[in-house]
Amino acid sequence: MNKQIFVNLPVKNLEKSKAFFAALGYTFNPQFTNENAASMVIHEDSIYAMLLAEDFFRNFTGKPIVNAHEATEVLVCLSCESREEVDELVRKAVAAGGKTPREPQDHGFMYAHGFEDLDGHTWELVHMAQQSQQ
């Protein structure tokens, strides 16, 4: 069995969050999506984000929920196949109501940019340059 990751994020408005991420091209697994949660497929069979309505999210923790517009609780970083894919996802996120927290970063070996979703969660996007084999 392959390992999977499920990133659980609290959201204020589940329907608006689903529309935001659908505008970026992500789909949702209807088997695990209802009025309290949406299972967003990031990479088929391995990476998912569970968007959980805040009231439902509270069932999983006794800690306060961080306001991601004011404090950083997590940085979600996804790899992309090209610089163009990085830029396109950021463009779609901004068009759907997201924000860019900083300018793109070109480190030579890695190109990075990102966006904040409607709830302020930071999504970093990176493209790693192929290392030449020696």
The model's pLDDT over 70-85, given as tens digits with 9 standing for 90+, comes to 999 899 999 999 999 9
pLDDT higher than 80, residue 90: yes
pTM for the model stands at: 0.89
pLDDT higher than 80, residue 11: yes
Specify whether the CB–CB gap between 28 and 35 falls below 8 A. Answer: no
Residue that has been written with the tokens 């480190």 in this structure:
107
CATH superfamily label, 5-128: 2,3-Dihydroxybiphenyl 1,2-Dioxygenase, domain 1 (3.10.180.10)
Confidence grade of residue 41 (pLDDT, cut at 50, 70, 90): very high
Which helix (H) or strand (E) segment holds residue 77: the answer is strand 75-79
Task: Report the candidate in 78, 82, 89 with the shortest Cα–Cα distance to residue 127.
Answer: 82
- Note the pLDDT of residue 95: 98
| % the chain with pLDDT above 90 | 90
- Note the pLDDT of residue 134: 38
CA 2 to chain centre: 21
In the numeric block, which tokens belong to residue 86? 């990085």
Give bridge partners of residue 127 from the DSSP assignment.
111
| % the chain with pLDDT above 70 | 97
- Note the pLDDT of residue 21: 98
Average pLDDT of the segment spanning 32-59? 96
Confidence grade of residue 130 (pLDDT, cut at 50, 70, 90): confident
The Cα–Cα gap between 76 and 32 comes to 21
Domain ranges within the chain, ordered by starting residue: 5-128
